[in-house]
Amino acid sequence: MHLPLLPSERLRRGNFAPPDGPLALVEKQRGRMVLVAVDALALADGVAPGLTLADARARLPDLAVMPHDPAADAQLLEWLAEGCDRYTPMVMAVPPAGLVLDITGCSHIYRGEAGLADDLHRRLVRLGLTAQLALADTPDAALALAVHDMAEVGDLPVTALAVDESVHLALRRAGLLTIARLSRQHRPALAARFGEALVMLLARLTGEIDVHIVPRRPPAAIEAERRFATPLAQSEAALAVIEALAVRAGLDMAALDLGGRRFDVALFRSDGHVARLSVETAAPVRDPKLLIRLLRERIGALADPLDPGFGYDLIRLSVPVTAPMLAQQLQLSGGSLADSEIGALVDRLGARLGRGRVRRLVAADSHIPEQAAFDLPVADAAGIAWPAVQPGEPPLRPIKLFDPPQPIQVIAEVPDGPPRRFRWRRRLHEVRAHEGPERIAAEWWRRADGAGLTRDYYRVEDGEGRRFWLFRHGLYGSEKLQPGWYLHGLFA
Amino acid sequence: MTAGFAELAAATHFSFLRGASSPADMVQAAMALGHAGIGIADRNTVAGVVRAHVALREAVEAAAADGLALPVFKLIVGARLVFADGTPDIIAYPANRRGWGHLCRLLTLGNRRATKGDCILAFGDLVEFSDDLLLIMLPSDDGAPPLAELANAAPGRVWLGAAMPRAGPDKRRLHGLAGLADAAGVPLVAINAPLYATPEQRRLHDILTCIAEKTTLEAAGKRLQANAERHLKTPDEMARLFQGHPGAIAETGRILRCIGFSLDQLRYEYPNEPIPAGHSPQGWLETLTLQKARERWPDGIPPRIMALLTDEFRIIAKAGYAPYFLTVHDIVAFAQGRGILCQGRGSAANSAVCFVLGITAVDPGKHNLLFSRFISEERKEPPDIDVDFEHERREEVMQYVYERYGRDRAAIVATVIHYRPRSAVREVGKVLGLSEDVTARLTGTVWGSFAGHMEKKRFAESGFDPDAPEIARLGDLVGQILRFPRHLSQHVGGFVLTRDRLDETVPIHNAAMVDRTFIEWDKDDIDALGLMKVDVLALGMLSCIRKAFVMLETHLGRQLTLDNVPDQDGDVYDMLCRGDSIGVFQIESRAQMNMLPRLRPREFYDLVIQVAIVRPGPIQGDMVHPYLRRRQGRETVEFPSPAPPHDPDELRGVLGKTLGVPLFQEQAMKLAITAANFTPSEANQLRRAMATFRNVGTMQDFEAKMVEGMVARGYERDFAERCFRQIQGFGSYGFPESHAIAFARLVWVSSWLKHHYPAVFAAALLNSQPMGFYAPAQIVRDAREHGVEIRAIDINDSFWDNHIERNGTAMAALRLGFRQITGFREVWADRIVAARPYDSLESLARRAGLPPRALRLLADADACGSLGLDRRSAAWEALRTPDAELPLFAASGAAELGAEPDADLPLLTPGEQVAADYQTIRLSLKHHPMALIRPAFAAEKVLTCAEFAAARNGRRVKVAGVVLVRQRPGNGNAIFLTLEDESGVANVVIWARLFEIYRRPIMAARLMLVEGEVQRSPEGVVHLMASRVHDRSLALDLLSATHESRPPLARADEFIHPDQPSAHHVRRGGHPRDVRLLPAREKRILPPSRDFH
């Protein structure tokens, strides 16, 4: 099956694109914006992939434009492939927009191959996808026919063969435009000119040799599964099975000096539904106890608890992501394990509360003090370091800032002298020492007027040794007649 | 309490992407703020200092002219040395001329170490060249600067620069620096190191920073400056900032006083290579000239020439320009010795001296050109002679110059590459976070790359509201960044030569091309300082003419040179009057071809005018039609005259030769002097202001002065305004009479060749490609129309170059050469020629040792006709012919390829043949594509171009053809298109408003159908005034399922290719019909191709 409009339909499905009007997805190629995909509306108006954006705009001024996102397309294709598990386990995704299903012996439920194709087509239409389906004896032929939306292999253009552009060109120049025409050529003559690969591809397309597809879900490095003649109807029983599987997987990993970074559990229900659970860890793990605890927490945090329904007939534990892990020994001091203990805590909190809810503060690249830090999920924050403080320098910024800064009354010299005394919360402070100003201008590009007030920050100390961080808001005279003053933070 | 402060660390926009103000702005701002002086120091360069120097000079002159006294202001020039070895930056100012030499050599050393645009310096280099330099060390954040070390190397000439950037701990830092300075026994000097003149320019500086960092404002973070403090500050503010250290302020004055160097001290001295020992330059010039004159006129020098020479000798002697003429002669003599064609042009080139010395081929005795008019005795500028050489052999001349004068004394002038509207919008847009989509739309509406500035209406044209904040901001910033230098590059061919080391006058860089070096100053800087420049330029037509001369000599035994081509020949003028000028130098453009039947040239000077009249100057000054009317006798020749008491005939001398209408740049300048009372130096300033857009602000002053000046003397305002617009139109494309005369000679020679030897001329043109206006297809077609037999490329007959073959009649035939095959190589051609003849493709492959790619190209180009193989069977055969260079194959000797069953390939249709021809050799001798598509168009009552040319005036017609050229000249009110079909060409005019409606078909169509009205001028020039335009490119693709047919555009097409794939190129390379875009239930997008053949 081939999905010619996959990218635009993906956007429409997700409501990422304007609902009506033509749509195109663009990408920068050799310095120009080029259309890589369009929707049916644009196509109907003669705007097709390959045009430059400028050109397309000239034809269709109201063309909506979104960036091309091959990763998202691939994701959608994968998702569709997953769904096709219902027809056959032999599913192969052929990016950017193709799926090949080996339905040998799978079509009886659908009253034959055509019935299966119909069912698939109906489901795709329901998903808002335009699909071209074709049935053929070999995967190559089926995909080529779907892409070109044809019924006979002989009618296919030679471009259906996955060979170099130069070969296509040579074939076209020889006047061999279709597969039928090409097949009539003397095969050794073809091989002498274009190599065995072409002859092989041709044979695969015409069904002279058969090949099998490579199913898309590659076997994981470590896998353990158990099938049940009588489906398991209880979650606890299923958990016990998973624990047993975890022990088995742990032994396998230990033998290889590996630990798992990700664990997938697939619970196949007898009615065809597949429940999948997965757990990720910050450090490689193979301890079954730890694993089962994480899984239990994961299950406990599920929005919709596991429902065994009529019971599971197959449970599979796979470890798709592994990392080297040597046998570990506790150190006497325990110090070097501190990190891993924090890691374990973060794993547990993350498993229970959700990965996005355990966060860490990181520095942001901005002159504006209140924008100079923000928080990120711990996993994403790794590797972002705070800038080092120069030795001997006092802290230039307080640890906590008032939000919003607190207005104060200040006596200071004009135009840009330091504060002499100030009143905060009805209390007067005499400034005994100061440093500054640290002048920070506004981010003009964020403002409609392109200006904004400059701040003059001072670190000051009052008669009692308390230290404050305050600023004048606006340059005297040039920006503001009477600049206001604010207290932005206290130094410890 | 003004302490007398001078900013001594000012950077300009020649600190690329770091400084945000021009040198002139910096100088003017410092003067306005009351600084005692300014020091300009850019990063490892002195590229901007001449501009600062000129800005100061002009300010002083302007003040003097207004009778004002300026406060004392001193400009010192130097560079900020940025080291590659971790040394903190050091600003260096030469104390005297010797110090300047040291600085230049130091920078040259760093430049020559780097491959491109970089300058690699180490601390040790500075120590070596530190004599006579004053050094200000700038502290860096990491570690203590090597202050004591520097103070030892340059005792008493080192300062520590301290700035108060308002970063917070300023005072603590200043205190620390004072301690450091004390410890090293070095004074502290106050600086602010400004990057721009006024605080408002911070925004621009932020933009530049983002461009340099390749980021956006949103993402730039701390890479931007925290505040707007890096501007020039008032002396008061500086004094306030340095309250505790008044000495640091006072030191700026002391540094100023220590410096006794100004750029005025750079004295130019001519190299003396071309002068034999024992001769004075003037004496040798006269001896040499008279000797050559006697050779040319063995029976005695004509008195008229002798008189000219005597007069010119006097002027040259007075100005001391003899070495210049000798230098140019030296270069020209070298080229002539090598058989390289060349010709001089420029203000001094039309002198009798240049003619006699062989620098030009224009006889001044015949053309009444007064030399003294062209060497201005008032302006102290050196004379100007540009010499054009054959474009393919100019490099030989350039290397000769390097060799003769040495790399330390000869280098090419720089060209400052500026931001253009297109690049400015793109880069600023990117920084502002506008998507590529938006900036592409904005730049997409800029037609041509030479739009001088980004007009507001361009923004509006692209559908954006110019007042929306983002767009207004973009427009504002783009306006500021335009004309900013981006980087330095080498000038096309301007050489600076000196007697002494050039690198003690100006730093030298490696150019991107190997074996080239260039200096940091551009030609205006050179002019401003009075240095000498010789332009060694490349001209394609000279290559073409030489190739034609060589062919004539070998095939016909006729020896021709630029100055012995017969210069009166009515038949040649008849040809030109018909507008039959494809391939002829300069007058082959559409506009020129339309002008020819109107102007009807009959003598040489008519060609001079023809060359000059179709230019932005006369067109924008609305001078073309008045001239034509007068020439055709439809208007009386009269001279604009002032009111009494002025001489009513004062313009007769200026405009006499051009029937009272100013056409040349000199005339416009002379007009400003005579009619508007400009001084010669003002007129010159005006010309320069126009050419370089340098002083955009002063333009209105000039306009007022000129127009009001003329009106005040009693000229009509309309005439005065037109004259000014004309000067504006000259802009950087000013076209003086002296250039027009030099070009007209080449026009004549090429016309003469085209008329008398069309086959030779066409072959020479093709062999000199790329050059000129037209693609090979049009050149070949034109030759055919002139009765030349064109023979196809063949492996047994062709050479690399196109050449002439005898055919039965007197007319020679043109055999196309292998060079016409796209992607073919000269070495392959040579091997083919060496091992001829061939009887099979296999023997060709083996004996000529051709790689498979070469064989395939030959087969696809249908060059195997003499083997009895058509294109398709040859290609099929070539595919299996193994690589001749494989050792195994070579060892086995004659490994015959086995016989194969007949491949039974389908026969090529005519459409496929034509498409394949276009794809491989970009022209077809078999058919015109339109001839094959004609039946479809005939049904639509579309006229052929020939029928159109014969249609009566005012008739409404349809014409279709392949698009050759699209142009939007001058003011852009109209678009000119040329369509071509099997019968000829049709010229289409589209008004701008129609263009807005039909933008897409006009921009995208390769094959176009135009409906409109026939407009026939009295001279018989026929245009189609378009009313509707249709893109019919699809029909071209239907010619062939097997080849893309893309008839080439002429080289002159101005339209910036969106390289448009038509609606069907969906997957790479797929043919339209291979690809189905819609589900099968939809109808097919394209009909099958067999409808057409």
Please write the tens of the pLDDT for every residue from A348-374: 787 777 777 888 888 888 899 988 888
User: Mean pLDDT throughout B447-459?
Assistant: 49
> What percentage of residues in chain B have a pLDDT greater than 90?
35
Instruction: Please check whether residue B781 touches A, CB under 8 A.
Output: no
The answer to whether the CB atoms of B1059 and A53 lie below 8 A apart is no
Closest by Cβ to A175, choosing from B225, B444, B1042: B1042
User: Mean pLDDT throughout B1002-1014?
Assistant: 87
Does pLDDT of B449 surpass 60? Answer: no
User: What whole-number distance in Å separates Cα of residue B480 and Cα of residue B435?
Assistant: 21
Lowest model confidence (mean pLDDT) among B68-72, B170-174, B342-346: B68-72
Alpha-carbon torsion B736, B737, B742, B743, what sign? Answer: positive
Bridge partner list, A411: A421
- Min Cα distance B309 → chain A (Å) is 58
Does pLDDT of B325 surpass 50? Answer: yes
User: Mean pLDDT throughout B47-63?
Assistant: 90
Per the CB < 8 A criterion, the answer to whether B191 and B162 are in contact is yes
Please write the tens of the pLDDT for every residue from B107-144: 999 999 987 778 999 999 999 999 999 999 998 776 67
| Distance linking the first and last C-alpha atoms of chain B | 94
- pLDDT at site B695: 46
- Kindly report the backbone phi and psi dihedral angles of residue A411, in degrees, each rounded to the nearest multiple of 5, phi listed first: -105, 120
- Report the residue of chain A nearest B1069, measured CA to CA: A165
Lowest model confidence (mean pLDDT) among A427-436, B80-89, B421-430: B421-430
- pLDDT at site A241: 87
Nearest CA to B234 out of B185, B199, B209 is that of B199
Beta A467-473 vs A258-269: how paired, if at all?
A: unpaired
- Structure tokens given for B609: 């005018």
Looking at residue B747, the DSSP 8-state letter turns out to be H
User: Mean pLDDT throughout B134-157?
Assistant: 86
pLDDT band, very low/low/confident/very high, at A334 (cuts 50, 70, 90): very low
Does pLDDT of A392 surpass 60? Answer: yes
A55, burial (CB in 10 Å: exposed 0-12, middle 13-18, buried 19+): buried
pLDDT band, very low/low/confident/very high, at A421 (cuts 50, 70, 90): very high
Exposure b/e, A229-261, CB count within 10 A at least 16 = b: eebbeeeeebbebbbebbbbbbebbeeeebbbb
Q: Whole-number mean pLDDT of chain B?
A: 83
ipTM over 0.90: no
- pLDDT at site B459: 63
pLDDT band, very low/low/confident/very high, at B1061 (cuts 50, 70, 90): very low
Question: pTM of the entire structure?
Answer: 0.74
- Structure tokens given for B224: 């931007």
- Structure tokens given for B283: 């004496």
User: Mean pLDDT throughout B813-820?
Assistant: 93
- pLDDT at site A181: 80
Per the CB < 8 A criterion, the answer to whether B202 and B228 are in contact is yes
Per the CB < 8 A criterion, the answer to whether B101 and B504 are in contact is yes
- pLDDT at site B452: 42
Lowest model confidence (mean pLDDT) among A26-35, A294-303, B459-468, B832-841: B459-468
| Cβ count near A262 (within 10 Å) | 16
Per the CB < 8 A criterion, the answer to whether A470 and A486 are in contact is yes
Q: pLDDT: is A469 or B563 the higher one?
A: A469
Please write the tens of the pLDDT for every residue from A191-227: 888 877 888 888 887 877 777 777 666 656 777 878 7
The Cα-based distances of B642 to B676, B705, B723, B1009 in angstroms read 10, 16, 14, 52
User: What whole-number distance in Å separates Cα of residue A85 and Cα of residue A79?
Assistant: 10
Closest by Cβ to A168, choosing from B217, B999, B1069: B1069
User: What whole-number distance in Å separates Cα of residue B849 and Cα of residue B852?
Assistant: 10
- Kindly report the backbone phi and psi dihedral angles of residue B1014, in degrees, each rounded to the nearest multiple of 5, phi listed first: -75, 130
Q: What is the SS3 assignment for B77? A: strand
- pLDDT at site A272: 52
Does pLDDT of B1058 surpass 90? Answer: no
User: What whole-number distance in Å separates Cα of residue B633 and Cα of residue B635?
Assistant: 5
Residues 6+ away with beta carbon under 8 Å from B345: B360, B385, B386, B387, B388, B738, B739, B741, B742, B743
Does pLDDT of B890 surpass 50? Answer: no
pLDDT band, very low/low/confident/very high, at B613 (cuts 50, 70, 90): confident
The Cα-based distances of B786 to B581, B769, B921 in angstroms read 12, 20, 21
Q: Which chain A positions have a beta carbon within 8 Å of B220's beta carbon? A: 365
Per the CB < 8 A criterion, the answer to whether A444 and A454 are in contact is no
- Min Cα distance B1067 → chain A (Å) is 8
- pLDDT at site B882: 66
Per the CB < 8 A criterion, the answer to whether B805 and B797 are in contact is yes
The answer to whether the CB atoms of A55 and B1003 lie below 8 A apart is yes
- Structure tokens given for B47: 């590229």
Per the CB < 8 A criterion, the answer to whether A470 and A485 are in contact is yes
Helices then strands, each counted (H, E), chain A: 14, 17
Lowest model confidence (mean pLDDT) among A146-155, A198-207, A304-313, A336-345: A336-345
- Min Cα distance A123 → chain B (Å) is 17
Bridge partner list, A429: A422
Please write the tens of the pLDDT for every residue from B733-746: 567 787 888 899 99
Instruction: Please check whether residue B899 touches A, CB under 8 A.
Output: no
Does pLDDT of B23 surpass 70? Answer: yes
The beta strand positions in B1036-1091, using DSSP E, are none
Q: pLDDT: is B1062 or A320 the higher one?
A: A320
pLDDT band, very low/low/confident/very high, at B466 (cuts 50, 70, 90): low
Strand order in the sheet with B158-162: B7-10, B37-43, B74-81, B90-94, B133-137, B158-162, B188-190
User: What whole-number distance in Å separates Cα of residue B1075 and Cα of residue B1084?
Assistant: 10
The answer to whether the CB atoms of A396 and B444 lie below 8 A apart is no
- Which of B173, B222, B437, B1029 best tests the A interface by mutation, with the highest count of A CBs <10 A? B437
| Cβ count near A143 (within 10 Å) | 23
Please write the tens of the pLDDT for every residue from B265-278: 887 778 887 888 88
Looking at residue B81, the DSSP 8-state letter turns out to be E
Please write the tens of the pLDDT for every residue from B938-980: 888 999 999 999 999 999 999 999 888 887 765 667 888 889 8
- pLDDT at site A405: 94
Q: Which chain B positions have a beta carbon within 8 Å of A66's beta carbon? A: none
| Cβ count near A126 (within 10 Å) | 8
Please identify among residues 454-483 of chain B the ones whose CB lies closer than 8 Å to any CB of chain A: 463, 469, 473
Question: Computed over its alpha carbons, how large is the radius of gyration of chain A?
Answer: 33
Beta B7-10 vs B37-43: how paired, if at all?
A: parallel
- pLDDT at site B373: 52
Residues 6+ away with beta carbon under 8 Å from B936: B1035, B1091, B1092
Does pLDDT of B476 surpass 90? Answer: no
pLDDT band, very low/low/confident/very high, at A342 (cuts 50, 70, 90): confident
Which amino acid belongs to residue A397?
R
Write the DSSP assignment of B967-1006 as a string of letters.
E--TT-SEEEEEEEETTEEEEEEEEHHHHHHSHHHHHH-S
Please identify among residues 871-890 of chain B the ones whose CB lies closer than 8 Å to any CB of chain A: 871-872, 875-876, 879-880
- pLDDT at site B690: 66
Please write the tens of the pLDDT for every residue from B738-770: 788 889 999 999 999 999 999 999 999 999 988
Please write the tens of the pLDDT for every residue from A433-491: 999 899 999 998 888 777 789 999 999 999 999 999 999 999 988 888 889 999 999 99
Q: Whole-number mean pLDDT of chain A?
A: 80
